[in-house]
Amino acid sequence: MRWSIEQGTRRGEALQLRWGDIDLQRRTLKLGGESGKTKTHRHQEEHGPEIRPLTPGARRLLIEKLATLPHQPKPTQRLFDVGTEAAFSVRYGRMVRDAGLKDLTFHDLRHEATSRLAKLLPNPLDLKRVTGHRDLKSLDRYYQPVPEDISRQIEEAERVLGMLSEEKPLKD
């Protein structure tokens, strides 16, 4: 669950990941869409494997996991050894129920991750690269910028680029 809140992968993507798909040095993960009719698989058929940036939180989780393993995992070993997708769904449902949560779907974790990342990545194209959303329209719900914040961002960018002259305070 922590992985999904940090990285925002789809359930099928997360369950298909293997250690060989992770490049901790380059901070990337490769999604191949091994089989089935997933969005990732369709992307692979059209464009080849999808390379996504690995978020710092997801990278930390993997480093922590590696530290607990008795030996280096084989590249073909699954990142999350949870059985079939159906078996995982049953286990996930039990975890949610045992935690006293209601109606928390796995996709809700992806939504949470995307919402958090949207606050850190002001450029929706960058967010799209991390989460694997296929179009910008699907990201609209995650971006609710306040006009004053946008104005401050423009001012800061101009200041950094040396384009902004010192403003005089407004008179009341």
Q: Is residue 124 a part of any domain in this protein?
A: yes
What pLDDT was estimated at residue 87? 87
What pLDDT was estimated at residue 35? 44
For residue 156, what are the domain limits?
2-160
| pTM score | 0.75
Q: What is the pLDDT of residues 2-18, one digit of tens each?
A: 999 999 999 999 999 99
Q: Is residue 167 a part of any domain in this protein?
A: no
How many Å from the N-terminal Cα to the C-terminal Cα in the chain? 52
Q: Is residue 51 a part of any domain in this protein?
A: yes
Q: Tell me the CB-side half-sphere exposure of residue 141, using CA atoms within 13 A.
A: 7
Q: Is residue 165 a part of any domain in this protein?
A: no
Among candidate residues 168, 172, 116, 107, the one with its CA nearest the CA of residue 143: 116
What pLDDT was estimated at residue 13? 94
What pLDDT was estimated at residue 161? 84
Q: Is residue 171 a part of any domain in this protein?
A: no
33 by DSSP, 3-state: which?
coil
What pLDDT was estimated at residue 93? 87
Q: What's at 41, amino acid-wise?
A: H
Tell me, what CATH number does 84's domain have? 1.10.443.10
What pLDDT was estimated at residue 36? 43
Q: 139-146: which pairs have CB atoms within 8 A and are 24 or more residues apart?
A: 139/114, 142/114, 142/115, 142/118, 143/118
Q: How many distinct structural domains can be found in the chain?
A: 1
Q: Is residue 170 a part of any domain in this protein?
A: no
Q: Is residue 116 a part of any domain in this protein?
A: yes
What pLDDT was estimated at residue 147? 87
Write out residues in the chain with pLDDT < 70, as ranges.
33-45, 164-170, 172
Q: Is residue 172 a part of any domain in this protein?
A: no
What pLDDT was estimated at residue 126? 94
